[in-house]
Amino acid sequence: QVQLVQSGAEVKKPGASMKISCKTSGYTFTTYLIHWVRQVPGQGLEWLGRINPADAITHYSHNFEGRVTMTRDTSTTTVYMQLSSLTSDDTAVYFCAREYEGTCYFDHWGQGTPVTVSS
Amino acid sequence: EIVLTQSPDTLSLSPGERVTLSCRASQIVNSNFLTWYQQKPGQAPRLLIYGASSRVTGIPDRFSGSGSATDFTLTISRLEPEDSAVYYCQQYGGSMFTFGQGTKLEIK
């Protein structure tokens, strides 16, 4: 079955960077885009961007341009999301989610990675 | 950036009742790219409706979506206790994905 399994919780200092992973299985890695969405505690959902595992082409939200980097490793069918210059406002649960290109909706999600930014 | 505003923010209803949740967009949204999710505490969102009105396989037919342009709705025809959740609409447009702020539905 389709699975997106994310790395564990992280605690970071302000100004640091974080890098979390999303290990996929149960489908052909290169046929679905992977997106990253975050949820600040008690609040709504915010899209960070996406990567096409087939060619590594990325598209980032303008709200995160310059701070976010998404990469993929086809040998392990894993996608990574790095966010730099962290502030307390980046404290959130980060989700990866899958899209069949062109459908513009997310049919499977990872379990979420809680990230806390605190001094 | 297209802003989605959901209403109401919260509501509390009884099992068996019917509810309609609203999602209003700041600009016209392509109906093909309007989606609804359900999120329960501690879980990832779950896809319910895509293309404004297409129900995902396995989602009960109590759930239905409709709308066009700037006004979309999610209707749950006969509420069950397990429908307690936050419901989000989401759209794609202008190379951006945006979500509504969510409607919290409590089943009494």
pLDDT tens digits for range B72-97: 999 999 999 999 999 999 999 989 99
| Amino acid at site B36 | W
| Amino acid at site A55 | D
What is the number of CB-based contacts under 8 A between chain A and chain B? 51
pLDDT tens digits for range B6-57: 999 999 999 999 999 999 999 999 999 999 999 999 999 999 999 999 999 9
CB–CB contact B99 A62 (8 Å): no
Taking the CA of residue A2 and the nearest CA in chain B, the distance in Å comes to 14
The whole-angstrom separation of Cα A21 and Cα A110 is 10
Residue of A34, A99, A104 to mutate, testing the B interface (most B Cβ within 10 Å of its Cβ): A104
- Point out the residue among B33, B44, B95 whose CB comes nearest to the CB of A95: B44
Cα dist from A112 to A37, A59, B44, whole Å: 9, 21, 7
Taking the CA of residue B91 and the nearest CA in chain A, the distance in Å comes to 8
For A67-75, the CB contacts below 8 A with 24+ separation are A68/A36, A70/A34, A70/A36, A72/A34, A74/A29, A74/A30
Residue ranges, chain A, pLDDT below 70: none
Please enumerate in sequence order all residues whose Cβ is within 8 A of that of B79, keeping only pairs 6 or more positions apart, or say none: B13, B14, B15, B16, B17, B18, B19, B62, B107
